[in-house]
Structure 1
Amino acid sequence: MRNKGNSLTRKILLLVQGLPYFTIENLQIIDVPPYQLRIALSRLEERGEIVRLKKGIYTSAKYVEHIRARGTDATFLEFIATKIYPPSYLSLDYVLYENNILSEVPFGLTLVTRNKTYTVHNQLSRFIYHRIKDELFSDYQAVRKNGYVYYKADKVKALFDFLYLRKNRIFSRGLAEELRLNLEVLSQAEISRLKEYIEREGSKKMKEIFRFLF
Structure 2
Amino acid sequence: MDKLFKGIMKFKKQDFEKHKELFKKLGRKQEPHTLFIGCADSRVVPSMITNTFPGELFIIRNVANIVPPYRDTEEWVSTTSGIEYAVKALNVENIVVCGHSNCGGCAAMNAPVESLDEVPHVRRWLEVSKEVRGRVDRLMTGDSEEEREWLTEQVNILVQMRNLLTFPYIKERYERGEIKIYGWHYIIETGDIYNYNDSEDEFQLFDPASL
TM more than 0.5: no
Q: Which of these two proteins has the greater Rg computed from alpha carbons?
A: 1
TM-score by length of 1: 0.24
TM-score by length of 2: 0.25
Structure with more relative contact order (C-alpha pairs < 8 Å, separation 6 or more):
2
